[in-house]
Amino acid sequence: MAVALMWEARAVDGRGEELLAWARKQELAEQPLRRETFRAPQDRVLVITWWDAAYDAVLPELPEPDGELVTRAVHRWRFESVAAD
């Protein structure tokens, strides 16, 4: 089964590039099948990792950045893939 973990944070105004660099430097205890990093307006950064694991498996996740870098706590979501119709 494929599971996707989504991690999204919003940087303090003007610090989006710093948050993006911080997220890209974070290493996980295990390598995911795939990892993608995105940015969006309002200095937001999104990281999605894909894993070959059960939905409720314990998986490594990116940590919370320093509180001075972000405007709020990180948002996290977990999704599982579904069979194609």
If pLDDT is split at 50, 70 and 90, which confidence band does 24 have?
very high
- Say what the pLDDT of residue 1 is: 73
**Do 68 and 13 meet the contact criterion of CB atoms below 8 Å apart?**
no
Given a cut of 90, is residue 39 above it in pLDDT? Answer: yes
- Say what the pLDDT of residue 84 is: 76
Instruction: Give CA separation, 3 vs 38, 65, 74, in Å.
Output: 18, 23, 19
Given a cut of 80, is residue 42 above it in pLDDT? Answer: yes
pTM for the full model? 0.92
Spatial CA neighbour of 19 closest among 42, 37, 45, 41: 45
